Amino acid sequence: MNSKWKIVAWLIVLWSSVPSVCADYSQRAEIQAMADRLASKGLDRAEVLKVMAQTTRLDSVINAMNRPAEKKKWKNYRPIFLKKARVRAAADFYEAHRSTFIRAERELGVPVEVILAIIGVETYYGKNKGSFRAIDALATLGLDYPKRAKFFLGELESLFVLGREEGLDPIALKGSYAGAMGFGQFIPSSYLAYGIDFDSDGRRDLINNPVDAIGSVANYLARHGWNMNYGIVAPVTGAESFVRSMETGVKVTNNIQTLRVAGIKGIPDIWSDLKLDILGLHGSSGPEYWAVTKNFYVITRYNRSSLYAMAVTQLASQIAKDLRL
Ligand SMILES: [Ca+2]
């Protein structure tokens, strides 16, 4: 290699080892506009920009967004969450907060095992709440991830509002690569809209206070229409021609007569007056078909994936058996 090419090679090495800091986000037009909006809500514009100048673009966040686990088939997704250890850990978390769980079920009308399963899938009962600075994750996705930029810019703005409402420092908050925080992994807009102060200490702390987190997960499901009077899923047969593609989202718009006329068998009689949908999944021993109620749909409002909702449903069922709920 002649010396000129050696220099070029060294430059490439140097370039690739530069951390992905780069443009000061506070200078971006979107952030200037966001600071204007926050100022109109009573926040200090200069302070917002000062915080934004300290944020960092994270390539790891963009890479993580580009490989979501929900693209898997059910037979490959299920084993990630349906493990004995996760069921056993639910028992420990339940024992530590038993009175809170019982109160959440009674006051908010969401079963203990469903709240447990969600917190179990989201963060392993608070053990993995995420190590990204939420503000870096949201800024990266809001400014350098064009296909979801509008959504994440909104969440970034909500993070500042949340900081002011709850007395939290936006730069100190940790979360997932998508900016979801705390035991239940609430994004800022959900924290603002559905977070509750379940221990009545005057603060909504979904990050470090399990009582507020448990109440808030239950409140989220309750506010999206959870109904204790019926279940979540039931296995059915004869659905091959009704289900056009597998592992899809659900809408719960069909009445039971439509489904029975289509040849589907196994729908519980107590669901006669409900709107339902049929979900097809690639299971470990072949295709599976499930009738699902609005409760299943409600879980997909927490995370828009039928695989996620089925993992929560089956984990909840195993937890209920294990705890004899
Ligand atoms: Ca509280």
pLDDT in tens, 252-272: 999 999 999 999 999 999 999
Contact 295, 97 (CB under 8 A): no
Q: How confident is the model at residue 19 (pLDDT cuts 50, 70, 90)?
A: very low
pLDDT in tens, 37-70: 999 999 999 999 999 999 999 999 999 988 865 5
Cα angle 173, 112, 84; round to 5: 85
Q: Is residue 122 annotated as part of the catalytic site, yes or no? A: yes
pLDDT for the residue 12: 55
CA of 175 to the centre of ligand 1 (A): 19
- Which candidate in 105, 122, 155, 247 is catalytic? 122
pLDDT in tens, 135-194: 999 999 999 999 999 999 999 999 999 999 999 999 999 999 999 999 999 999 999 999
pLDDT for the residue 314: 98
Report pTM.
0.91
CA of 128 to the centre of ligand 1 (A): 21
Q: How confident is the model at residue 10 (pLDDT cuts 50, 70, 90)?
A: low
130: left (phi over 0), alpha (psi -120 to 50) or beta: left
Contact 203, 177 (CB under 8 A): no
What is residue 131's three-state secondary structure? coil
For residues 92-114, give the mean pLDDT. Answer: 98
Separation between Cα atoms, residue 157 and residue 211, nearest integer Å: 26
pLDDT in tens, 196-243: 999 999 999 999 999 999 999 999 999 999 999 999 999 999 999 999
CA of 97 to the centre of ligand 1 (A): 14
